Amino acid sequence: MDKGFQLLPEQASKLAVQVDILYYLLVGLSFFFALLIFFLIYIFAVRYRRRSEEEVPRQIPGLIQLELAWSVIPFGMALVVFVWGAKLYFNTYTPPADALEIYVVGKQWMWHIQHPTGQREINELHIPTGRAIKLTMATEDVIHSFYIPAFRVKKDVVPGRYTTLWFEATKPGSYHLFCAEYCGTKHSQMTGTVVVMEPTQYQQWLSGGEASETPVVAGEKKFQQLGCVTCHGDKPGARGPSLKGLFGNPVQLQSGEVITVNEDYIRESILRPNAKITFGYGAIMPTYQGQINEAALLQLTAYVKSLSAVK
């Protein structure tokens, strides 16, 4: 990973190239205007200097064309930068629907990672090239921030909610993974490695790893263990609503409000069941706050999501 002195980290994702082009444009524009202004100050100071004691400068009336030019041109340039930046921004916040979903849990001071096929890693993330990867991230304690410079992506991992991050790696290799939010004594050691592999190698890696339960299977077990199944067991007249086909679909709440079920809603309903009660049901579900950790929450979420998967 040590590649000597580099002005910028390697470009190892689709986004990296686009971000860098915009970055160079901004730096180029700044340089251009800084030099232009410096140069003009120098020229004007020499050319329009006071030549004698009695000299009175000639009055210059306003020139509307000039005023317009130096207002409209910079405005246009600012708009280009804005639109370009906004496009990139929205792109980084909208993972493609077919992205491979990997779960990340930050904890003082390490990164726990779980693949949809069950592989678990600590401070390492193995991914294939040419495939969109979506990370769903949570933290067991304080705020951390998942940062891969070579991909030009960084996202805070915040207590009490899920955050997501996505990227598509383009170049096999090993890249730095950092925690980019001060999180305590060993914040600076909360680092890791992202290993990008050709898809075939990635498949090999997947089959070579220790087989453990997938998040969905683990989630289903928790669903039984915690007794969720007693009320959400999908039986007629059950005390809790069925969870089949729930994810990604609208649900009407007691308040009359209609919301679309996402990861955060599932999480909230497990930890604070009375926050948003489904229409037609009572406030009888106990909270599971403090009884399950983030990893288990993610597994339960994965299980509930799997109940809506198209089969």
To ligand CUA, the closest distance from the beta carbon of 185 in angstroms equals 10
Stretch 162-191: interaction string toward ligand CUA, x if CB under 6 A: -----------------x-xxx---x--x-
To ligand CUA, the closest distance from the beta carbon of 114 in angstroms equals 18
User: Segment 65-124, which members bind ligand CUA (CB under 6 A)?
Assistant: 106, 109
Stretch 121-160: interaction string toward ligand CUA, x if CB under 6 A: -----------------------x----------------
Tally Cβ neighbours within 10 Å of residue 271: 16
Asked if residue 109 has a cis previous peptide bond (ω within 30° of 0), the answer is yes
To ligand CUA, the closest distance from the beta carbon of 158 in angstroms equals 12
Contact between 264 and 305 under an 8 Å Cβ cutoff? The reply is no
Cα–Cα dist 49/47, whole Å: 6
Burial of 162 (0-12, 13-18, 19+ CB in 10 A): buried
Closer by beta carbon to ligand CUA, 143 or else 238: 143
Cα–Cα dist 249/38, whole Å: 59
> Which runs of E-coded beta strand occur in 57-143?
100-107, 110-114, 120-122, 124-128, 132-139
Closer by beta carbon to ligand CUA, 11 or else 108: 108
Closer by beta carbon to ligand CUA, 179 or else 298: 179
User: Segment 50-69, which members bind ligand CUA (CB under 6 A)?
Assistant: none
Cα–Cα dist 67/289, whole Å: 62
Tally Cβ neighbours within 10 Å of residue 223: 19
To ligand CUA, the closest distance from the beta carbon of 281 in angstroms equals 39
To ligand CUA, the closest distance from the beta carbon of 106 in angstroms equals 6
Instruction: Give contact residues for ligand CUA (rule: CB under 6 A).
Output: 106, 109, 144, 179, 181-183, 187, 190
